[in-house]
Amino acid sequence: MENSESIKKIVKEKYGEIALQSKTVSESSCCGTGSCTGVDYSVFAEDYSKLQGYNPDADLGLGCGLPTEFALIKKGDTVLDLGSGAGNDAFVARAITGEKGTVIGIDFTDEMINKSRENAEKLGFNNVAFRFGDIEKMPVTANVADVIISNCVLNLVPDKVKAFKEIYRVLKPGGHFSVSDIVATGELPQSIKSGAELYAGCVSGAIEKSEYLGIIEDTGFVNLKIQKERVIEIPDEIYLKFISDDELKKFKESGVNLVSINVYADKPETSCEPGMGCCN
């Protein structure tokens, strides 16, 4: 796999292309970007259309769960949406937190920021904002968020330790996160890990479930729980764009699955930054 900056460039380019398309175009192609060279992002997605606050212009079919369903958002909360895309989850969160709340979306793709801001302007929301920024170093002050949500984005972040440390930093003491993400139930083969397109398609960036949960615990979060879990079935023809028949056979025989999980955890009421040597 490429280095972190190369990975980020690949992800930016891919999601920049998707931002300029409609959901219909994305789903009618085999990779989400109008060609047949990549991954069908729609195999991960769940249906948002019946949720309050849903806006079809903001739904590009890129998620792998419904984190707002589990996020315990309350009226007046400040909510951060990491990897906010065209604003889909942010607008659903705004319907819950109401006019007195604040929703901030963070994304590092210019095209997505532009699209989400256009959508917010059409809706006339003055308490939803979208900021350009990297999840590994968020443009947000410490202890600001009551709730953090994210939908199938953290697996795209090369340094997940940094990402969860940032989530810890910006949450208020007693705040919590609820994120949907893709993990693996075992070790992915190197042939899959090394695919740049598979990384951008949320496949090769998926780390082992136990490692993912371990990062969260090591960061200092408490009350960790999996709120929902489902196996993702990726068609063989997608894998075969990147790996051989023999490699696919071995992968399927290994019993390793890609799984969509919704994970919840709290930042302790009394806490200090991890690694600072202080105690509660």
User: What are 95-101's contacts with CB under 8 Å, separation 24+?
Assistant: 95/51, 95/52, 95/53, 96/52, 96/53, 96/68, 97/73, 99/127, 100/75, 100/76, 100/127, 101/73, 101/75, 101/76, 101/77, 101/127
pLDDT digits (tens, 9 = 90+) for 142-175: 999 999 999 989 988 889 999 999 999 999 999 9
Cβ neighbours of 242 (radius 10 Å): 21
What pLDDT, on the 0 to 100 scale, is given for residue 97?
Answer: 97
pLDDT digits (tens, 9 = 90+) for 105-114: 999 999 999 9
Tokens 């890129």 label which residue? 62
**Range 4-266: architecture per CATH:** 3-Layer(aba) Sandwich (3.40)
What pLDDT, on the 0 to 100 scale, is given for residue 196?
Answer: 55
Q: How far is the CA of 6 from the CAs of 157, 163, 200, in angstroms? A: 12, 17, 11
In the predicted model, residues of the chain with pLDDT beneath 70 are 1-2, 22-45, 194-202, 204, 271-280
In the chain, what are the domain boundaries? 4-266
What pLDDT, on the 0 to 100 scale, is given for residue 272?
Answer: 58
What pLDDT, on the 0 to 100 scale, is given for residue 240?
Answer: 85
